[in-house]
Structures are given as C-alpha cells and as structure tokens.
Amino acid sequence: MKYLRNEKGFALLFVLILAAIALVMTLGMLFMVGRGSFVSGQQKRYRSAVEASRGGVEAMLQMIASRNGSSLFPNMSINNAANLAMKMDNTTDLWGMAVDKSITINPGVPSTYDMSVDLVTYTAYTKIVDTVAGNSGADEGLLKSGVVSTGSGEVMVQSIPYLYTIEVLAQSNANATERSKFSVLYQY
C-alpha cells in the first residue's frame, strides 16, 4: 500500500508526457511547412509548363494564319510540311491513312506531332488532330444578292472556313515530368 500512494517520480513522468506531445506537435508543423514548400514548388513548375503550352498554342495559331506551312520562327521546326498543309486545307476524312489522327503526342517520336517550338527551358509540341469544314462552303453564289434585298434588317453571317482541334504538349527539357497538355478548338 505504501508504494501505491507514493508520488515520487510523478513530476518526471508528467514532464516526459508533455515533452512527447510537444515533440509530436513540432514534427507535425515541420512536416506541414516542408509539404507546403514542396506543393508550392510543384505549382510554380506547372505554371511554367502551362505558359510554355500557351506559347505553343500561339505558334500553331500563327502557323495556321500564315497558311504556308513554313517555319515562322528560328526556334520552330516542322516535321512534315506536306502533312501539315493537308491538315490545314482539308477536312479530317480527306487526310488519308498515312496521317496520324490520334491525340497522343510522344516527344521522342517526331511522327506523333506536327510542329515543335524550342522555348529555351521547355519544348512545346503541337499537332492538328481534327479539321472540320466551317459554315462557309465553296459556292457562295447568293451572297448579297438573291430573293432578299440588302437592308438594315439583314444579318450577314461571318465566314468561318475551318474549325481545328489542336493538341499541345509542353515539356521541360531538364525534367520530363514537368509538363502540361492543352486541347484547343480554333476557328479560322
């Protein structure tokens, strides 16, 4: 009975329990701070990859707008200019079997993308995967003449010859896991 009512060492045990709780809380806070830094670094790298993808989109849109299939920039390379010109000027069903219609872009295989743009630390790979005829056909015989006279109530439809579906993959030159992928619908 004498040993059960003895309070010697109770303060030591209490301090050890409080120290263990403080240690767990400190380790938890250090883990959260370290994890926050890791996530913020990942977000920074992803945002850089997204901006590189946007650069690849802009390069492809300028390529389509120029309609010549030639390189506009010194850091741009086109894999097959004839295929790219065919993709820009014909609907998907007229491309033929030799043209890759998949949405997959593999940076190691040049036949899986149409154009690449070197953006110093990133490379953007772009590809037209689908071309659809827009609202304007080859025959525009009744334009501004016909059964309805031109007046203030007439609405003129804007000509859109083609709708393009473009895939863009931007990847870091130093780390292949730093990448972003866009799918863009563009009317020209």
Taking only the tens of pLDDT, the chain with its 188 residues reads 566 667 777 888 889 999 999 999 999 999 998 888 888 888 888 899 999 999 889 888 888 887 765 556 678 888 878 888 888 888 888 887 777 788 889 898 888 898 999 988 999 999 999 888 877 655 455 555 555 555 666 666 666 678 899 999 999 999 888 889 999 988 87
Determine the Cα–Cα distance for residues 149 and 28; give it in Å rounded to an integer: 77
4, two tokens: 């059960």
Give the pLDDT score at 123: 93
16, two tokens: 């050890």
Give the pLDDT score at 155: 64
Residue matched to tokens 């334009």: 143
Give the pLDDT score at 20: 96
- Report which of 73, 38, 40, 48 is spatially closest to residue 171, judged by C-alpha positions: 48
Give counts: helices (H), strands (E), the chain: 2, 5
Give the pLDDT score at 22: 96
Determine the Cα–Cα distance for residues 122 and 120; give it in Å rounded to an integer: 6
Task: Please name every residue paired with 183 in a beta bridge, in sequence order, or none if there are none.
Answer: 167
User: Contact at 8 Å (CB) between 135 and 160?
Assistant: yes
User: Contact at 8 Å (CB) between 171 and 49?
Assistant: yes
Note the pLDDT tens digit of each residue in 36-52: 888 888 888 889 999 99
Question: Angle 110-131-49 (CA atoms, 0-180°, nearest 5)?
Answer: 50
Residue matched to tokens 């120029």: 66
